[in-house]
Amino acid sequence: MSIKNWKKIKTERVYDNFKKIDRTTFKLQDGKLKDFDIVTTDHSVVSVVGFTKDKKAILTKQYRPGPEKIFYEFPLGYIEEGETSIQAAKREFLEETGYVGHFKKIGVKYNNGYSRVKVHCYLASDCQKTESKLKLDEAEFIEVHLVSLKELRKMLKNGKIRNFGEGYLALDYLNLL
């Protein structure tokens, strides 16, 4: 059997707040109807893998309410209305880490198979700390951590970084895999 696109029958907004959830009915390729709850939002997301001039990776550490765990992450956030993805990447990276650098877009991915949220992935190189006080949203409590390339690889391999895909994408782009 070859894989085919499903036919969208109807969509209904079932949750409309910070995140939006649509219940979408599809006709599957075997003819059956099935509902899926799809996370959507009005904003795409940026994620930044940053390295200092001495090749240390810049990670954030924070609590995430969904899995109810503390994670290391590459900084990320929403693209605000009127912003380009590069503007959002630079803003979010500075707000969450206090660092600036040279930015290069290295890819785009979808958040997961049940989401329409696009993640624009950036690499920030030669980063320097310019701000000592972070500019965080009211529900953000972030620690910034610098780790060696060796430690970064170990953390990626051991699942210690929540949004690990961006890390592998950056290391591949830099020919460091």
Of 84, 61, 63, 78, the residue nearest 20 (C-alpha): 78
Task: Phi first, then psi: give them for residue 151, nearest 5 degrees.
Answer: -65, -40
pLDDT tens digits, residue range 40-72? 887 899 999 999 999 999 999 999 988 999 999
Pairing status of strand 45-52 against strand 118-129: parallel
Task: Phi first, then psi: give them for residue 158, nearest 5 degrees.
Answer: -95, 10
Of 52, 68, 44, 48, the residue nearest 60 (C-alpha): 48
pLDDT at 111: 84
**Average pLDDT over all residues of the chain:** 95
pLDDT tens digits, residue range 136-148? 988 889 999 999 9
pLDDT tens digits, residue range 82-101? 999 999 999 999 999 999 99
Query: How far, in Å, are 1, 7, 57 from residue 4 at the CA level?
Result: 9, 9, 41
Alpha carbon distance 84, 91 (integer Å):
11
Q: Which residues contact 54 (CB under 8 A, 6 or more apart)?
A: none
pLDDT tens digits, residue range 151-170? 999 999 999 999 999 999 99
Kindly report the pTM of this predicted structure: 0.90
One-letter amino acid at 8 equals K
Q: Are 86 and 122 in contact (CB under 8 A)?
A: yes
Q: Find the farthest-apart pair of alpha carbons in the chain and give their distance in angstroms, rounded.
A: 58
Q: Are 24 and 145 in contact (CB under 8 A)?
A: no
* Percentage of the chain lying above the pLDDT 70 cut: 100
Of 70, 47, 48, 75, the residue nearest 60 (C-alpha): 75
